[in-house]
């Protein structure tokens, strides 16, 4: 158990059976009355930020987040298969557990997975990934009326806007933070 006076930004807590990450907290000691703590926390299940107020000295369950380096092996339907690079154990996660991160996975990619028990709570992707364009419209010469970008579908199924000069089969870099075109590979 952890007390409110031991809070640190980024700490993981289990509150009412759900996992939360502390985003921000403030200890308040009013002139009259008992001290309290104002907390902003992000739900790992929904991603929503909640604001709560707790009495000073309230106790919470500390959540242990295990960080593993894993390698993405392959996709089978809605399941994504990984291998723990330390123990070589197989790990299988569903697409809904990975969220938007699933759009940036390529075979043999190494990344960090955060686990709470056996449940995936987050993955840390590289800043940019290289993906091939599976389908896009041909760019028309001289067509610069629409800021010279066209829609494209990548090999992972992600749809982004790319410049007119790239086409199907080209490898491009995609920024994983914004989901936008970052350059040719």
Q: What structural domains and CATH numbers belong to the chain?
A: 2-62 (2.30.30.30), 66-124 (2.40.50.140), 128-184 (2.40.50.140)
CA 174, CA 182: separation in Å to the nearest integer?
5
Residue 144 has pLDDT above 80, yes or no: no
Q: What does pLDDT average to over the chain?
A: 86
CA 33, CA 11: separation in Å to the nearest integer?
28
Residue 5 has pLDDT above 70, yes or no: yes
Could you tell me the pLDDT band of residue 174, with boundaries at 50, 70 and 90?
Answer: very high
Q: What are phi and psi of 179, to 5 degrees?
A: 75, 25
Does the reported pTM lie above 0.75? no
Could you tell me the pLDDT band of residue 146, with boundaries at 50, 70 and 90?
Answer: low
Task: Identify which of 29, 50, 25 has the alpha carbon closest to the alpha carbon of residue 39.
Answer: 25
Residue 57 tokens read as 């000295």
pLDDT in tens, 97-139: 888 888 899 889 999 998 888 788 888 888 999 999 988 887 6
Report the pLDDT value the prediction gives residue 7, as an integer from 0 to 100: 86
CA 9, CA 40: separation in Å to the nearest integer?
10
Residue 140 has pLDDT above 80, yes or no: no
CA 118, CA 145: separation in Å to the nearest integer?
51
Q: What angle do CA 174, 147, 128 make, to 5 degrees?
A: 10
CA 183, CA 163: separation in Å to the nearest integer?
9
Could you tell me the pLDDT band of residue 141, with boundaries at 50, 70 and 90?
Answer: low
Higher local confidence (pLDDT), 146 or 138? 138
């Amino acid at each position: 158990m952890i007390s409110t006076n031991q809070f640190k930004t980024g700490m993981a807590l289990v509150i009412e059976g759900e996992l939360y990450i502390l985003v921000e907290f403030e200890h308040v000691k009013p002139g009259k009355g008992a001290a309290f703590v104002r907390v902003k926390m992000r739900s790992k299940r929904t991603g929503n930020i909640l604001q709560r107020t707790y009495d000073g000295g309230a106790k919470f369950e500390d959540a242990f987040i295990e960080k593993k380096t894993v390698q993405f092996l392959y996709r089978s339907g809605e399941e994504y298969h990984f291998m723990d690079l330390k123990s070589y154990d197989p790990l299988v996660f569903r697409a809904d557990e990975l969220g938007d991160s699933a759009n940036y996975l390529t075979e043999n990619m190494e990344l960090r997975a955060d686990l709470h028990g056996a449940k995936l709570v987050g993955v840390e992707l590289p800043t940019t990934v290289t993906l091939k364009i599976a389908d896009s419209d041909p760019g028309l010469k001289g067509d610069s009326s629409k800021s010279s970008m066209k829609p494209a579908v990548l090999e992972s199924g992600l749809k982004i806007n790319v410049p007119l000069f790239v086409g199907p089969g080209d490898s491009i870099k995609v920024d994983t933070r914004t989901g936008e075109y970052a350059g040719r590979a």
